[in-house]
Amino acid sequence: MQAVAEFGIKSPLRNSGMSKADIRILSKTMRLATWNKQSFACLSSRFAYGETISREKLSMVDHAEQLLLDLGFHQVHVRIHDKIARIEVMPDEFEKLLRSREDVVNKLKEEGFTYITMDLQGYRTGSMNEIL
């Protein structure tokens, strides 16, 4: 939102007064393939404050999230805290994550994570801002 104001970015959908749900319904009605696509913030939002963002770490997060999406999870974030992966999925998918535990752990370790954790609060936007 700050960038929108600072740089005068035009946002027709925001200005239309339509909600995200309205846009999804309209997109589904228009048979757009992306009508139920997950929303994704920039990968840099997965990094703890003060964490150095590098190509390697961006790749680790990207591959970790893609793995979870490929396993059928709907909304995912993999937060990075040095070499710790903090996985956020929707609470109704916790059991599914636990059933996939061994595969997820092995693949994320291959990506370079040392520890793999599951956030018991589940998927939510802005969780890195909770420390502010």
Longest distance between any two alpha carbons in the chain, whole Å: 47
- The closest of 90, 86, 104, 87 to 38, measured between CA atoms, is 90
- How far is 84 from 81, CA to CA, in rounded Å? 5
pTM of structure: 0.73
Both structure tokens of 93 = 């998918």
The Cα 132–Cα 114 span in angstroms is 26
**48 to 20, 52, 83, 129: CA distances (angstroms):** 27, 9, 11, 9
Domains annotated for the chain, with CATH where assigned, are: 1-37 (no CATH), 43-131 (3.30.70)
Per-residue confidence in pLDDT tens, the chain, 132 aa: 555 667 777 778 778 888 878 888 888 999 988 787 766 678 888 998 888 999 999 999 999 999 999 999 989 999 999 999 999 999 999 999 999 999 999 999 999 999 999 999 999 888 878 777
